[in-house]
Chains A and B, each alone.
Chain A
Amino acid sequence: NAGVTQTPKFRILKIGQSMTLQCTQDMNHNYMYWYRQDPGMGLKLIYYSVGAGITDKGEVPNGYNVSRSTTEDFPLRLELAAPSQTSVYFCASTLGVDTQYFGPGTRLTVL
């Protein structure tokens, strides 16, 4: 199993541009999550999904959108990128209440 994979690893965006961060898991996990990590702030939940077709907002959803059309994929969309969205983004997945498995992260800079 590859586990949780994320693409791209790095990206630089200009203010106002849009992009999609890709996340795929091959463990048949029902739950998937998107977090952002900022220095000294820990991980903040952006969106999560409890299964295909079901998504819900986390703590910091503004400026982001998600979709979950399959069990495996959970892309995160940034519309109209802003400097405040400069961060490291982590995707994670879990089966029920068990351990969350994390991807390697996407480092995004908005200039």
Chain B
Amino acid sequence: AQSVTQLGSHVSVSEGALVLLRCNYSSSVPPYLFWYVQYPNQGLQLLLKYTSAATLVKGINGFEAEFKKSETSFHLTKPSAHMSDAAEYFCAVRSAGNTPLVFGKGTRLSVIA
């Protein structure tokens, strides 16, 4: 069975500081991995996805994530936080095939001026 663990339900960073949101997954087969962002009172929007091509994936708004098979991780980073990055971030996994996405519990990112 697939599962996702996001370390830290709330992360707070200063504006301009590095953003690091952690995601570890469990999957019995090579996974597809996704990061979604949710702004207040909105639906989920795709940030980036890994689908077995390059292990370093670049997404929208300056975010990127690196797939590390040996660590079963897919951490999300951004070099310099902006106030507009404050939102909730969800990591999700899907096994190869047509199974539904399994989501982590989310990490709320706060950005302090």
Residues of A whose CB lies within 8 Å of any CB of B are 4, 31, 33, 35, 40-43, 45, 48, 50, 58, 90, 92, 96-97, 99-105
The prevalent SS among residues of B at the interface is loop
Q: Is the CB of B94 within 8 A of A97?
A: yes
B103 within 8 A of A: yes
Q: 1/0 contact trace for B21-48 toward A, CB 8 Å?
A: 0000000000010101000011111100
Q: A43-B103, A104-B42 are in contact. List 17 more A-B contacts (CB 8 A).
A: A31-B98, A33-B101, A42-B90, A42-B104, A42-B106, A45-B100, A90-B43, A92-B44, A97-B51, A97-B96, A99-B34, A100-B34, A100-B46, A101-B46, A102-B43, A104-B43, A105-B41
Q: Are B42 and A41 in contact (CB under 8 A)?
A: no
In angstroms, how far is the closest chain B Cβ from the Cβ of A73?
18
10 pairs of A and B residues whose beta carbons are closest in the complex: A102-B43, A42-B105, A43-B103, A102-B44, A42-B103, A104-B43, A48-B100, A99-B46, A42-B106, A45-B100
Contact between A50 and B90 (Cβ–Cβ < 8 Å)? no
Residues of B contacting A41 in the complex (Cβ-Cβ under 8 angstroms): 105
